[in-house]
Amino acid sequence: MDGNSGEMASAIANIESLLKGIPSGAWVAISERQNKVLSYGDDAQTVLDEAESTGEAHPLIVRVRDQASLLAR
């Protein structure tokens, strides 16, 4: 197993905990260091603009998947 796999699992767990409680389908801006949610909403550009207005230069923008689609796999 690759030495980075532990880091990857930790990063995924961290993002999952950050996204807890955010509605399915929402766009989310996460700080570059991935330690907090800066903004979320229905429109990716609005979320990006809001995140950048906090001074974050390179936020991570993700979309929360519908839990039903995850269960269908």
What pLDDT score does 12 carry? Answer: 66
Q: Is 65 helix (H, G, I), strand (E, B) or coil?
A: coil
Terminal-residue alpha carbon distance, the chain: 25
pTM, 2 dp = 0.73
Length reported for the chain: 73
User: Per-residue pLDDT for 73 more than 50?
Assistant: no
What pLDDT score does 70 carry? Answer: 46
Higher-pLDDT residue of 1, 16: 16
User: Per-residue pLDDT for 15 more than 90?
Assistant: no
CB-based contact 41:63 (threshold 8 Å): no
Residue 57 DSSP symbol = S
What's the pLDDT tens digit per position in 16-64?
A: 888 889 999 999 999 988 789 999 999 999 999 999 999 999 999 999 9
Q: How far apart are CA 15 and CA 35, in angstroms?
A: 8
